[in-house]
Structure 1
Amino acid sequence: MLALDRAGSGPLLPYTRQVVLARGDTVSEEGVAAGAAVFPEGALLSRVAAMADGRTVEVAALGQDDAAGILSCLTSAPEPCRTVVRIGGPARAIPASVLKSAVDRDHGLRRVLLQSIQNRAIRIEQDLACNALHDVTARLARWLLLACARTGEDNLPLTQDDMAAVLGVQRTTLNASAMHLRASGAIRYNRGALRVLDAARLEAAACECYRPPIGDLRPVDVRGSRRVA
C-alpha cells in the first residue's frame, strides 16, 4: 500500500476496505465514474483500451506504487478505459465520496494524489515512445521487471494471451520473445506460470525505458525475499 503510505493516509485507513482481487475481475468500466479508488497491495491492475474490432491493449499497469480511479473519484468524471485485474492479490478500496471529502479538507493529501496522477501521465508518455520504437523482446523484459516490482513477487501467473494483450502483439510474436528470454536464463516459463530467475539478465535485455517504479520500489530479490523499500 505504498501509494497510500506516500499520501500520509493515517486518517483514511479507517475508511478503507481490505479486498482480495481475483484475476479477470473488473475494477472499473469505461464510461462510468469510479465508485472507489483501489490501492493494490500485491495485485497488478491493467488499464485496457478496446478497439472497435474487439482487440485490446494495455495502456497502463498499476501496482503497489499506484492506484486506480483517483482522478475519477475526485472529479466524478467517467473512466476513459476499463481497468481489470491482471494478477490477483490483496488491495484496499476507498469509496469515492470518502476520498473526495478527505481531499477537500487536506490540501497536502490533494497535492500528493495529484502528483501521483502526474507521475502516471509521465509514465504513459514514456510507454508510448517505447511501444513505437523498441522491439518486443526488450519491451517484454521491461514489463516483467516492472510487474515484479509492482507485485513484490518473482512468480507471475501470466499466460501468453496476457502478455500479448499487454504488449499489443500477436501471440506468435510474443511466444518468440518469451522463448528468447527463457533461453537466456532470465526467466522460466511454462503453461501460464512465469518465474524471473535472473533479474540482471532480464534488465540487460530490457530497453532503455526501464526504470523501477518512481522512487519507491526496487526489483524483487529472485531468491524469494521481497525488496520493497
Structure 2
Amino acid sequence: MAETIMRPKENRLLALLPENEYSAVAAHLEPCATPRGFIIVEAGAAIEHVYFPCSGIGSVINVSSEGNRVEAGLFGRDGFAPTAAAVDAPLSILEVAVQVPGFSYRLPQTKLWDLMQTQPMFANLLHKSTHVLAIQAGFTALSNAVHEIDERLARWILMCHDRIDGDELALTHEFIALMLAVRRPSVTTALHLLEGDRFIRSLRGLVIIRDRAGLEEFASDAYGKAEEEYERLLGPLRKSPR
C-alpha cells in the first residue's frame, strides 16, 4: 500500500497553495485509492467528501431521468470534484466517477467549506478550477453539436493525455462510446482513422499517443480553449510542455 501513496502536492491545486494554507488544508486530508468505476458521488446524492486527485482521471456525467448518460467534463490532478461542493451545495446534480484508476486525497464536505472561509487562496483556486470546468463543459456541448466523431474523439484523447504521465491510456472502446454518447462501432471506426494517420496506436483496452502535435492539429477548434483558460488562471496543465 505504501508504494501507491502519493504526496498531496501531486494535485495541481494543492501544490499552488502558499505553505501556511497548505498546512491548514493538509491537516484534514485523507489518502484514498480511487479504482476504475469508483463513484465519488451519485447523481442526486448528498456530497460527503471532496476529492483532490494526484493521479487517475474522473468523469462528470449527466444522467437523465430515463437513465441516459453522457460525459459533461473530465478532471484529474488538475482539479477537484465534485465542484458543487465549492458553492456549499448539499447535493450533486451530476454523477462523478473514476474512469482511469489513481490515487486521491479527500476532505469531508463540511471541512472543505470551513477551510474556504478561512483560507482565501484555497477558496480562490477552487473557484478558478470550477470556472474552467464549466468552460470545458460548454465546449463539450459545442463539440457534440458541431464536430464529427473522430474530431470529438481526438479532443477527448488529448484531454485525457493532459492529465496523465506518459503516453498510454487504459481505455476500452465500450467506455469511450459511453463517455462520448455514441455507438461502439463508431468509436472503433474513429480510432482506426486516427491510427491510420499515425496519431495514435489502438490496442485492446489501450490507446497509445504517438503524435500529439498531429492530434491537436486534427482536433482543430474542438480542443484548446478550456486548456488555455486553465493555463491562464492556474498555470501549466501538463507536467511537461505541450
When normalised by structure 1's length, the TM-score is 0.89
Structure 1 window deviating more from structure 2 (70-79 vs 21-30): it is 70-79
1:129 to 2:166 alignment: no
Q: Which amino acid aligns with 2:194?
A: L
- Give the superposition deviation at 1:164: 0.8
> Which stretches in structure 1 are left out of the alignment for 5+ residues?
220-225
Structure 1 partner of 2:37: 24
The match for 1:191 among 199, 204, 207 is 204
Alpha-carbon contact 1:40-1:67 (below 8 Å) kept = yes
1:48 to 2:61 alignment: yes
The match for 2:108 among 84, 89, 95 is 95
For the residue of structure 2 that corresponds to 1:204, the secondary structure is helix
Q: 1:210 to 1:73 in 2, by over 3 A?
A: closer
- Give the superposition deviation at 1:108: 3.4
Q: Aligned pairs, how many?
A: 223
RMSD: 2.0
Alpha-carbon contact 2:151-2:222 (below 8 Å) kept = no
> Which stretches in structure 2 are left out of the alignment for 5+ residues?
1-10
Structure 2 partner of 1:5: 15
Q: Decide which structure has greater helix share.
A: 2
Q: Which amino acid aligns with 1:159?
A: T
- Give the superposition deviation at 1:74: 4.5
- Give the superposition deviation at 1:52: 4.2
How far apart are the structure 2 equivalents of 1:76 and 1:204?
39
Q: 1:73 to 1:118 in 2, by over 3 A?
A: closer
The match for 2:222 among 201, 204, 209 is 209
How far apart are the structure 2 equivalents of 1:108 and 1:205?
37
Q: 1:172 to 1:53 in 2, by over 3 A?
A: farther
Structure 1 window deviating more from structure 2 (47-56 vs 191-200): it is 47-56
The Cα offsets for residues 22-41 of structure 1, whole Å up to 9 and x where unpaired, read as 11111111111211111111
State, as a whole percentage, how many aligned pairs show the same letter. Answer: 23
Q: 1:208 to 1:13 in 2, by over 3 A?
A: same
- Give the superposition deviation at 1:180: 0.4
Q: 1:127 to 1:23 in 2, by over 3 A?
A: same
Alpha-carbon contact 1:152-1:227 (below 8 Å) kept = no
When normalised by structure 2's length, the TM-score is 0.85
Structure 1 window deviating more from structure 2 (102-111 vs 165-174): it is 102-111
